[in-house]
Amino acid sequence: MNFDKELDARGLNCPLPILRAKKALTELTPGQTLRILATDPGSVKDFQAFAKQTGNELLSSAEKNKEFEFFIKRK
């Protein structure tokens, strides 16, 4: 999937992946996509909730080798 910015939140724990993602999203223009890599297992549900609450769309959420990859489109 195409993306405009990437955030490496691997090794970070709650709530840092969300806080860093929020910061990264503000640096994008509406419609642009952020790719996030994380290792915090809680981040799967957290990014769903974050997207629902903020209106930024969670385009995809995937796991491979205990790493999580999210794509979020800025509102």
Partner 1 sequence: MGATPEIAVIDDLIRQRLDEILPQKLQEIQEAKTPSMAIIATKGTLDWAYPPFILASTAAAMGWDVTIFFTFYGLNLVKKDVSDLKISPLGNPGMPMKMPFGPDWFKSINWNIPNLIQAGIPGFETVATKLMQQTIANNGVAKIEELRELSQEAGVKFVVCQMTVELFGFNHEDFVDGMDFVGAASFLPVAQTADVTLFI
Q: Is 44 in the site for partner 1 (CB under 8 A)?
A: no
Of 6, 10, 14, 19, which residue is the catalytic one?
14
Q: What are phi and psi of 65, to 5 degrees?
A: 50, 50
Residue 36: Cβ-neighbour burial (10 angstroms; 0-12, 13-18, 19+): buried
User: Rounded CA gap, 41 and 29, in Å?
Assistant: 28
Pick out residues in 9-28 that bind partner 1 (CB under 8 A): 11-16, 18-19, 22
14 in active site? yes
Footprint of partner 1 on this chain (CB under 8 A)?
A: 11-16, 18-19, 22, 40, 50, 53-54
Any idea which residues carry the catalytic annotation?
Answer: 14
